[in-house]
Structure 1
Amino acid sequence: MNVHTDNVQVIRQNGKPAFAVIPYSDFLNLIGKKEQGEGETTIPHAVVGLMIENDWNLVKAWRKHLGMSQEKLAKLTGISQSAISQMEQSNDLRSGTVEKLAAAMGIAPEQLVD
């Protein structure tokens, strides 16, 4: 395995190398993972749990998770409460609608698409 070692700190015990400290990003590269926020969108376990337990879509699960009423979400998005209700029964939302909902909920649009 070829590893770039210019930025390694070696910690010695009794005069012998005992530990090698490397930058966290190098560690993640070694184990084949990305840093959170690098191309990976996550959804909290609680939101996923609400979806599964109640057979809800992401819009409703997020809204309930955030303690938000349909009326409040409607007001924040400029979308009618009845339209919000319909969206909570659908998994086919327009990208512009997803962006409005996400902005009102303070989440990334990708977190509303499954």
Structure 2
Amino acid sequence: MLPYDEYIALAGNEPRIPAGEAVPHEVVSVQVKNRWSLIRAWRECLGITQAEMAARLDVRQPTCANMEGPDARPRQATLVHIAQALGISLDQLDDRMAGQHTSPSAVPMQRLPTPVPRDPTPPASSATTPRT
């Protein structure tokens, strides 16, 4: 196995996708369709397995799986390493940049109104009354 430092030296420090570029449609599409995190969508589109990603990040595969979970919130330093391992810019891991706010996590959530509790007793009109 090639140590990550040597990998970076051989691959160069330039991201495969230049900084400032938008997130490709393919990445956003699989992210939205599968409800994946942007990290996983990038990894899948680039054809990198979780085991390969874990090796690039020098972590175990379950740790890699946790990092790309839908509710994961990796620290900035971790995101820098992930971007380097994927060969993309840090901006391209920002959900807000994905497809110019087309990812589900980039859409602002709106709070629904609190439902009014229903009265368990039936209305008076539906009560049974004796018929004559």
Q: Give the structure-1-normalised TM-score.
A: 0.62
Greater share of strand residues, 1 or 2? Answer: 1
Which residue of the partner structure matches residue 88 of structure 1? 68
Alignment match, 2:87: 106
Which of 50, 55, 68 aligns to 1:70? It is 50
Instruction: Supply the RMSD in Å over aligned alpha carbons.
Output: 1.6
2:36 aligns to what SS in structure 1?
coil
Structure 1: segments with no counterpart, 5+ residues: 1-36
**After the TM superposition, which segments of 4 or more aligned residues of structure 1 sit over 4 Å from their partners?**
none
Gaps of 5+ in 2: 1-17, 96-132
Which TM-score applies when normalising by structure 2?
0.54
Q: Aligned to 1:46, which of 3, 23, 26?
A: 26
Name the count of aligned residue pairs: 77
Work out the percentage of aligned pairs sharing the same amino acid: 34
Relative contact order: is structure 1 or structure 2 higher (C-alpha 8 Å, sep ≥ 6)? Answer: 2
Please identify the structure whose Cα radius of gyration is greater. Answer: 2
Partner of 1:57: 37
- Cα deviation for residue 91 of structure 1 reads 4.0
Alpha-carbon distance, 1:42 to partner: 1.1
CA distance in 2, matches of 1:65, 1:45: 11
